[in-house]
Amino acid sequence: MNTPTTPSPFVDAAHRATVQDALRKAEQLKVLVVGDVMVDAYLLGQVERISPEAPVPILRTEKREQRPGGAANVALNLVALGAQCALIGTIGHDSEGENLLGLLESAGIDASGLVALDSRPTTSKTRVMSGGQHLLRVDRETTDDLSASDSAAVLERINTLLDRGGFHALVLEDYDKGVLTPAVIEGGIAAARRHGIPVAVDPKLRHFNSYCGVDLFKPNLLELNEGLGLRARGDVPAEIDRALDALIDKLAPAATLLTLSEHGVRFRSAAKDATSGHWPAHARDIVDVSGAGDTVIAVATVLLAQGVSLNLVAATANMAGGLVCEKPGVVPVDPAALHQEIERGSAALQSA
């Protein structure tokens, strides 16, 4: 991969000004997020001994937390950046769903698009943690695709909200939990096209090939390989480039932002004057990578909706995703910390 000739695009004052101005103007944006919402729950405490009943640690619970997760965490990141956000997905008729509604209301997220279903629970992931370390995760979920009637109900919410106007972008956030069926994906993209707003996608495997012709496609390397049936390695530039060529041939995204974990991000435009490049990962003390992809797609969408260049979209989203990895659990990006990182500009990057 061709690494940048400078350690960061933000050593250029014009680039810093462009991105910081766009981040400040996030408060003028309204974004619709559609996808798999969930509750990220935490049992936090300390392990001081092993159980006499079995060779397992005993957690002395000190705190319980619940946070919006999945597509709801994307919405939380957008609101943290200053944007207005409406959320569409499904919840169950259960306490987790009620708690999630309360969390979203407290965060200032419009949850009127959530559809409560009898057929499935609210997706929840409970992480058992001691001293910042994961001991266990317990999931409660139904991952089958929504029925035709439930898909129609979700699509009706999309059309209703977009028809009200005022939205600047649509995010499709897929965790393979069944909300983003082909009917919802294709109908949502068509609705965004009618309203002239860009579509940003964070895909998963099951319906990878349904996301045709979107404005920004943001897979990670595992998703790209699984979706295309490839084995590209993140540290082999030629393999990554061939995989991106295959993706563009198959799904024709206007722009692709490929996250490569410790290898940073690779970006590619499909335009005639194609922009292509790579930003290495920033050197950080990684605590928890959970939710980093949610932050990346949220930051990228805010900049995409304002016409910021793909090069700067990729660099800023890469930086923001790394920042949240320094915190335990699933947390939204801290805008003040992001601005500070941009100001530093010439912070050392890992070699790619």
Taking every pair of C-alpha atoms in the chain, what is the biggest distance, in angstroms? 67
- Cβ-Cβ contacts under 8 Å for 84 (sequence gap 6 or more): 29, 30, 31, 110
Residue 224, Cβ density class (10 Å: 0-12 exposed, 13-18 middle, ≥19 buried): buried
1 within 8 A of 266, measured Cβ to Cβ: yes
- Please tell me what DSSP assigns to residue 346: S
Distance between CA atoms of 73 and 104, rounded to whole angstroms? 10
Catalytic, out of 163, 249, 294, 334: 294
C-alpha distances out from residue 156 to 36, 51, 135, 179, 200, Å: 16, 51, 41, 13, 20
Question: How wide is the angle at C-alpha 153 spanned by C-alphas 173 and 299, nearest 5°?
Answer: 20
Beta bridge partners of 294: none
Distance between CA atoms of 335 and 20, rounded to whole angstroms? 10
The residue whose two tokens read 């397992």 is 56
Alpha carbon 167 to its chain centroid, in Å, reads 19
Give the dihedral sign, CA 18/337/110/292: positive
- Cβ-Cβ contacts under 8 Å for 212 (sequence gap 6 or more): 189, 251, 252
Tokens of 237: 């530039």
First to last CA, the chain: 8
Q: Active-site residue 294, yes or no? A: yes
Q: String of b and e for 83-112 (b: at least 16 CB within 10 Å)?
A: bbbbbbbbbbebebbebbbebbeebebbbe
Residues with a catalytic annotation lie at 294
